Structure 1
Amino acid sequence: MNLMKADNMKFILIIIICNFSAGISAPIDNYPKNPKIDAINYIFNIELSDETDEIICESKVDIRYLEKGIKELRLDLINVQKGKGMKVSRVTSNGDVLTFKHKNDELYIKLPVPSSVNQRSQYIISYRGVPAGGFKIADNKYGDRTFFSNNWPNKARHWLPLIDHPYDKAMCEFVVTAPNHYQVISNGLLIEETDGPNGKRLTHWKQSVPIAPWLFVLGVAPFAVQYVDTFDGKSIQTWVYEQDRDAGFYDFAEPTKQVLEFYTDYIGPFSYEKLANIQSNSVGGGMESATAIFYGDKSVTGKRSVRWRNVIIHEIAHQWFGNAVTEYDWDDIWLSEGFATYFTLLFIEHQYGRDAFVEGLKSSQKRVNAFYKKHPDYTIVHDNLKDMADVTTGQIYQKGSWILHMLRGIMGTVNFWEGIQSYYAKYQNLNATTDDFRREMEEASGMDLSGFFKQWLNGGGTLKYAGSWEYKNGTVKITLDQVQNDGYLFKMPLQIGIYKPGETTPVIETIQVNKKRNSFTIKVDTEPKKIILDPNLWVLMEAAFERKK
């Protein structure tokens, strides 16, 4: 998703066990899901003009009914209000005109007869209007007229009739007629580009792998286009404003291929037919649209800045998490944003070294702590999200990332990657929940992770330790208390680094800190020079710890 999703919040710089038997209930948001109706494919025929911001559309919706007796099809589509929105003029199926009702931003289509099991039907919806959101028609920074989508999180309904929720993934096609001085970019592969009469050009893109609606994408502008490279036979492309040709081609040439290689090797295969990096004025940071990633106007600098490099890594990580494996419910948005943030750091560790990785973790921790001070009870998994304005915060990104890091520390790196690969293989191009993810990680580790997931994802609070150590007669005694005063108590394994005189590498011991007040004894063969908590930076915590005087 957008690194500024919600539009201003998101440009947060992306560098940035316990055995419990606690049940985890699966929360759901309040969208009116109907899993008995499955959208298979959308074909959006759209006509654009330089004379007006009105778009003229004919959309073909391909539906499978999974239950008999369904009498109507519900789709999302914004009504006209104050001169903006969509007005439906006609709905047909197999040439027959159907009865429909379009009000309160919902389009209800009456079926000619109730559905049968596995019935497949296509509906053609004719409509037009000026988008109130979701599709920005405006001049770019150079004064050129452009058309760019930004469907996050549920704005596709502003200009497209569809089931506008990630639980129902579908294929899509965009067939766009526009003045021939524009180039058109969208999801998937280019099927057709034909110049017609009256200075018009028809461009047809087809996405053959199902994706969530917020990932549907359309960009229309005077572009400079570069076919940079290929990866597994799939095209890597750059689309930037023609005035930014040289700087944009330079900026986006790296590190796309290296990122694709890393995630393919460590997670699983890349799902899609191409990957294009695209300059746009509809987002401020980045937007992970499947196969066609949008970056803001200011992304092109000609300097390959670390900031924008990390945005590129983050949005490519989304092609695996958020795009290929998609949360079934908005309450589980951390499965997208927390994952993309942590896997950005994992690529940074792989490509740029441990120090850069640690710097990113520490930067994230500072943001987590700052957010906690204002919102101490905030939970990473939402509890039946009601307002889509609240779908993401910085905490979803940064603390979500840290939770994955702690999980890796608890499971061990080998088991962590085994679980990640299993999770991806099982849910690639499908939907998943937090419980689905937990089960895969439990299978990989042989551990009961329900307590860890519940305390870190379904509860608020922060973890603060205060304690001391002393040495006597071959024994180290450690006193360690949880001193947070927010009402939360954590059960966590914690590594202790014991440094012997003259040695720089500590002996690692692990203690289990479960209570408010805790004490431990550890046998040692010599008096330690120093002892520190969490020397390998596995736990999201604050600590005051010193030798007892």
Structure 2
Amino acid sequence: MRYRTRVTAPAIALIGTAAALTTAPAAHAAATAPAASGRRRAPAAKSAPGPETLSDPVYPSLGNDGYRVGAYHLDLAYDATTALVDATAAVEITTTQCLSRLSLDALGLDIRSVHVGGRPAAFEQADEKLRITPARPLPEGCRTTVRVAYTADPRRTLAHTAWVPTPDGFAVCPQPNSAHTVFPCNDHPSDKAGLTVRLTVPDNLRGVATGRLVRTERLSGGRTAYTYRSGSPVATELVQITVGDYVVKERQGPHGLPLRDIVPTARAEALEPALALTPNLVEWIEARLGAYPFETYGLLPCNSDDPKAFDFTGLETQTLTLYKPNYLLQEEKKIGSHMMHELVHSYFGNSVSPATWADLWLNEGHADFYGLLYRYERGWADSLGLTTFEARMKDTYARGDQWRRTSGPVAAPNAANLFDSQRYLGGVLVLYALRQLIGEDAFHAVERAFLARHRDGHASTEDYIAVASHVSGQDVSGFLREWLYGTTTPRMPGHPDWTVTPVPQSLVRPDARTGAGRHDNSATL
């Protein structure tokens, strides 16, 4: 959340292995083989520019079609004197149509050169797109590497940015639509890909990224390069890259899970009580949702408490949850449910990413659902002073029509209200209603089946509805669609006495754009 087994996937090659243009055998044969004697060659498919959208209902300009990304290999060098990042992004793609031109999302990056399949390519930057024209059209099914050399300034002022500048470096906060201010990419959660990051930094700093450390190189000039590789596909909005004066604290989680925290050196001792909570949190959620889905987990209390640069409490970047350090200095009952919320995102949001941004309730509703359960099991009062899940759901239910009027249905957000309470507690209420209808055992079976079926991929609201109907043995599609898309709040199963507070006529219409930017609703847990 913006608030926010072991892996068996094959290893991703390190930077430098992606090289020349290759084509799938069928495509290559069609493009290069001479026509057989006495036969006419089938006409070649006509190439065209790839669409500069994936038609997301919330961010229609985000993402690009005509190809899918297999892996990102990022090589970034941080200059502490200038605070600039010199970078190369090697993007392995497979085309899904014949392309005369393709595009990547990119904003605020000073592009120096672009190569496709090892050959120089023409390029232009227009709005938030990097348009690339290869030396020759790419046939359908072509596997190739797009290599972009560029410079980035983490302190540059942009319309939106993922960069979080710190006194000693930076971290990144890409969610929902800002990864492409850090590296050129197909910036949409439906196109997850492998990830390798090589970070070169001065010896007095540490470079850290999503995944596990696989190589450390001591370089000349007082510099060190750290290479990290993810064992599972990553959505661009979940990439973490950070540089700073950090110490790495390692410990073991349940079943031997490696835990690593990246902690500001000056605050390492003070933050230890919060960091030490993680093993028990992992054990609690594994008992409900199954084995933790990635190769490692840990916290990154970013070395910044600047509210302007870091305007939320935490973010579930994959394998390494980003936090404001001062938040974690509080007592356990103040932070425990929030820490559970972010951990749950490893399952809902990271392992299973939303198919579109309209499906965000699947991430945030589930994260708040289990965060609240964890809180009430321990007898901790919530932000409203309530101490039971049922009491909180009754209070949320009463607000149902008001939220539908001001923020629209749970599964129908827009860019302005994407991170408001309707996607969080409104999503919890939907899950609670489903559990009331089908029973607790069937609900837990639905949860695990959904995660297993869509692991390392993405899923839509309709995918969840389909799993719920199949696993529960009853058609719950109409029930869930009414809860997710209806303009009024349905009756709550098992609670005929619950009532919805009438909505004053002065409130805005459902299509009004309310809220803005990043909104840390899980802080209200």
Q: Any idea what the Cα deviations from partners look like across 1:379-436, whole Å, max 9, x if unmatched?
A: 3445473xx3432102211111121011101010111111111111110111111111
Alignment of 1:83-482 (within 5 A): 85-131=108-154, 132=156, 133-139=161-167, 145-254=168-277, 256-280=278-302, 281=304, 282=310, 284-301=312-329, 303-348=330-375, 352=378, 359-360=388-389, 362-363=391-392, 366=395, 369=398, 373=402, 376=405, 378-383=407-412, 385=414, 388-462=415-489
Partner secondary structure for residue 209 of structure 1: coil
Deviation at 1:27, TM superposition (A): 8.5
Query: Which residue type is aligned with residue 3 of structure 1?
Result: Y
How far apart, in 1, do the equivalents of 2:77 and 2:169 lie? 14
Are residues 1:51 and 2:81 paired? yes
How far apart, in 2, do the equivalents of 1:60 and 1:162 lie? 10
Partner secondary structure for residue 312 of structure 1: helix
How far apart, in 2, do the equivalents of 1:113 and 1:312 lie? 50
Kept in 2, the 8 Å contact 1:226–1:249? The answer is no
Deviation at 1:35, TM superposition (A): 5.3
Q: How many residues align?
A: 437
Question: What is residue 62 of structure 1 aligned with on the other side?
Answer: 92
Partner secondary structure for residue 176 of structure 1: strand
Q: Any idea what the Cα deviations from partners look like across 1:188-212, whole Å, max 9, x if unmatched?
A: 1101122212221111111121121
Kept in 1, the 8 Å contact 2:404–2:410? The answer is no
Are residues 1:494 and 2:494 paired? yes
Query: Which residue type is aligned with residue 263 of structure 1?
Result: I
Kept in 1, the 8 Å contact 2:106–2:130? The answer is yes
Deviation at 1:51, TM superposition (A): 1.3
Kept in 1, the 8 Å contact 2:64–2:186? The answer is no
How far apart, in 2, do the equivalents of 1:92 and 1:417 lie? 49
Q: Any idea what the Cα deviations from partners look like across 1:299-345, whole Å, max 9, x if unmatched?
A: 232x5332211221110000000001111001111011011110222
Kept in 1, the 8 Å contact 2:355–2:460? The answer is yes
CA 1:355/1:445 → structure 2, altered by over 3 Å: closer, same or farther? Answer: farther
Deviation at 1:162, TM superposition (A): 0.3
2:101 to 72, 94, 97: 72
Kept in 2, the 8 Å contact 1:361–1:402? The answer is no
How far apart, in 1, do the equivalents of 2:499 and 2:164 lie? 40
Kept in 1, the 8 Å contact 2:253–2:282? The answer is no
Alignment identity in percent?
22
Alignment of 1:29-48 (within 5 A): 29=58, 30-31=60-61, 33-34=63-64, 36-48=66-78
How far apart, in 2, do the equivalents of 1:342 and 1:384 lie? 19
Q: Name the structure with the higher strand share.
A: 1
How far apart, in 2, do the equivalents of 1:368 and 1:492 lie? 8
How far apart, in 2, do the equivalents of 1:53 and 1:258 lie? 38
How far apart, in 1, do the equivalents of 2:400 and 2:424 lie? 12
Partner secondary structure for residue 194 of structure 1: strand
CA 1:192/1:380 → structure 2, altered by over 3 Å: closer, same or farther? Answer: farther
Deviation at 1:56, TM superposition (A): 1.0
Kept in 2, the 8 Å contact 1:177–1:202? The answer is yes
How far apart, in 1, do the equivalents of 2:458 and 2:350 lie? 9
CA 1:206/1:283 → structure 2, altered by over 3 Å: closer, same or farther? Answer: farther
CA 1:183/1:453 → structure 2, altered by over 3 Å: closer, same or farther? Answer: same
Q: Any idea what the Cα deviations from partners look like across 1:513-542, whole Å, max 9, x if unmatched?
A: 7xxxxxxxxxxxxxxxxxxx4xxxxx6856
Query: Which residue type is aligned with residue 154 of structure 1?
Result: N
Deviation at 1:448, TM superposition (A): 2.1
**Superposed CA RMSD:** 2.7
TM-score, scaled to structure 2: 0.77
Deviation at 1:373, TM superposition (A): 4.0
Kept in 2, the 8 Å contact 1:53–1:137? The answer is no
Where structure 2 has 5 or more consecutive residues not aligned to the other structure, the ranges are 5-54, 305-309, 503-525
Q: Which moved more, 1:433-442 or 1:88-97?
A: 88-97
Query: Which residue type is aligned with residue 410 of structure 1?
Result: L
Kept in 2, the 8 Å contact 1:372–1:378? The answer is no
Deviation at 1:134, TM superposition (A): 0.9
How far apart, in 2, do the equivalents of 1:174 and 1:418 lie? 37
How far apart, in 1, do the equivalents of 2:56 and 2:121 lie? 37
How far apart, in 2, do the equivalents of 1:202 and 1:3 lie? 31
Kept in 1, the 8 Å contact 2:399–2:500? The answer is no
Deviation at 1:277, TM superposition (A): 0.8
Query: Which residue type is aligned with residue 332 of structure 2?
Result: S
How far apart, in 1, do the equivalents of 2:337 and 2:381 lie? 15
How far apart, in 2, do the equivalents of 1:235 and 1:380 lie? 40
Deviation at 1:266, TM superposition (A): 2.5
Kept in 1, the 8 Å contact 2:403–2:422? The answer is no
How far apart, in 2, do the equivalents of 1:416 and 1:264 lie? 16
How far apart, in 1, do the equivalents of 2:265 and 2:239 lie? 24
Kept in 1, the 8 Å contact 2:62–2:187? The answer is no
Q: Any idea what the Cα deviations from partners look like across 1:436-466, whole Å, max 9, x if unmatched?
A: 101111112222222222222112334xxxx
Partner secondary structure for residue 184 of structure 2: coil
Kept in 1, the 8 Å contact 2:95–2:142? The answer is yes
